[in-house]
Copies of this chain bind each other. A is one copy, B any other.
Amino acid sequence: MRIGFIGLGAMGQHMAHNLIATGFDVTVWNRSSDKLAPLVEAGATRAVQAADAAACDVLITMLADDDALTTVVDAHDLIEAMPENGVHVNMATCSIECARRMAARHENAGRHYVAAPVLGRPDIAKAAKLNIVAAGDHDAIERARPALEAMGQKVWPAGEAAYKANAIKLATNFMLVSAVEAMGEATSLTSAYGIERADFLEIITNSVFGAPAYLGYSGAMANREYDNPEGFKLALGAKDMDLALAASKAENVPLPVGSTVRDRLSEALAAGDGDLDLAALAEGSRRAAHLDDND
């Protein structure tokens, strides 16, 4: 099976590597070309143009956001470039609205759009341990399944309507960002009572909160070191929270915790922490409590 792969950022490059390592014939394309060399070296074919990737049996995109996806799809007429009945698997996080629009456009053109957003950060992507939530035409998902399984530990079916996978992903990331904020607040509270950050975080992540949502951030929070190239950047957390809140507004589902946390993200972004790991939310909590370096 020939796979086209577009979008070789922090996540995409690991995912493409895993496809190659599994033995797929992978054609890669990226807007900036510096990411291509290591993949070509590993065995990928470098697309002359984006349409070459779209012409494969399965096209996988992993682009930054709605705008990036729409821009690339439109600029290169990717839907038309796909084979008839071809499958486009968008594994990036995008809005409900974008998913609906893309699904309709592909269907109108006789192609398939599968939304298959992933749960996991770059380090998880590298280890091929992603959880993949896939929604779209059943047969289309089955055709893409071998590729998905090469990148993840589990493919979770989410129905025939593509946007449903995005709803699940956005709800999950709303929970994730909220969990990190709550952990930051709790850590400030215990700090104020003289408890070492690392001690508190060790206890909770070895008991009731022993899950990736916490373990992936507690280390950075304990050390107050937030430079993590394989992590989940705070600005991306804010972007996902905005998408979750947009989804909640569209259906009038209140998310009081989400609204509150979005506000804290604004503070962190105003502080210039957008490029830090999401765990840096804990610093905003420290600022609000006016803790000093002895706390």
A interface vs B, CB < 8 Å?
96, 119-120, 131, 133, 154, 156, 158-159, 161, 163-164, 167-168, 170-172, 174-176, 178-179, 181-183, 185-190, 192-195, 199-200, 203-204, 206-214, 242, 244, 247-249, 251-264, 266-267, 269-272, 285, 287-291
On chain B, the residues within 8 Å of A266 by CB distance are: 248-249, 252-255, 288-289
Query: Would you give the shortest CB distance from A205 to chain B, in whole angstroms?
Result: 9
Judge whether A171 and B158 touch: CB under 8 Å: no
A182 CB contacts on chain B under 8 angstroms: 174-175, 178-179, 182, 257-258
**Residue of A120, A158, A176, A193 with highest tally of chain B CB at under 10 A:** A193
Cβ distance A101 to chain B, nearest Cβ, rounded Å: 16
- A193 to nearest B CB, angstroms? 4
Chain B residues whose CB sits within 8 angstroms of the CB of A254 once the complex forms: 185, 263-264, 266-267, 270, 285, 288-289
Q: Is A207's CB under 8 angstroms from B131's CB?
A: yes
The answer for the CA separation of A171 and B249 in the assembled complex, in Å, is: 20
Contact A119 B289, CB 8 Å, known A257-B182, A266-B253: no
This chain: how many copies in the complex? 4
Complex interface: chain B residues within 8 A of A133 (CB): 203
Q: How far is the CA of A295 from the CA of B186 in the complex (A)?
A: 32
Which chain B residues border A174 with CB–CB below 8 Å? Answer: 182, 185-186, 189
